[in-house]
Amino acid sequence: MSPDDVQPPSPMIELDLRKQDALKSFVRFVEKEIRRRSKSLLFDPHDEIFRQRFVSIATEVLEQVQVGRGLTDFIIQADAELNTNDVIDRNEFRARVGLIPTRAVEFIIIEFSVHRTGSNFGESTEF
């Protein structure tokens, strides 16, 4: 296959790739912000208070994104299921964050109808 045989991506593929890139950037931003704000927790005792403080910090970040209409919903897991004794003995902390991003409108579809003279929209439910 020569370089001349390569077809440029279709507009729909380009749109999908841009959406994927935007989503990756969004997740990187959220992760970076949670990491930045939770750095103050480093070297704290690994206990339930620590977990609650981390969840509080992460929740604050995600709620701000949600208020800015970037998220529909989120969930944070930072419990003993993830933070086993082995994880704690390695001086690690583990958390999972689930995100439901707000979807953007990509198409606006408007339907029009033309009605007869003398029509009354209040009497008819048809468009």
pLDDT in tens, 57-111: 999 999 999 999 999 999 999 999 999 999 999 999 999 999 999 988 878 899 9
pTM recorded for the entire structure: 0.74
Do the domain assignments include residue 124? Answer: no
> Rounded to an integer, what distance in angstroms lies between the CA atom of residue 32 and that of residue 125?
52
Asked whether the predicted pLDDT for residue 4 surpasses 70, the reply is no
Do the domain assignments include residue 84? Answer: yes
Asked whether the predicted pLDDT for residue 8 surpasses 70, the reply is no
Going from the C-alpha of 81 to that of each of 22, 42, 84, 87, the distances in angstroms are 32, 20, 6, 10
Number of compact structural domains in the chain: 1
Asked whether the predicted pLDDT for residue 3 surpasses 60, the reply is no
Residue 32's domain comprises 9-101
Do the domain assignments include residue 3? Answer: no
| Residue 26, Cβ density class (10 Å: 0-12 exposed, 13-18 middle, ≥19 buried) | middle
| pLDDT tens string 18-41 | 778 888 999 999 999 999 999 999
Do the domain assignments include residue 54? Answer: yes
Do the domain assignments include residue 41? Answer: yes
- Contact status, residue 71 vs residue 33, Cβ threshold 8 Å: no
- 34-52 mean pLDDT: 97
> In the structure encoding, which two tokens stand for residue 5, read together?
């045989």
Do the domain assignments include residue 123? Answer: no
Do the domain assignments include residue 117? Answer: no
Q: How many CB atoms lie within 10 A of CB 51?
A: 19
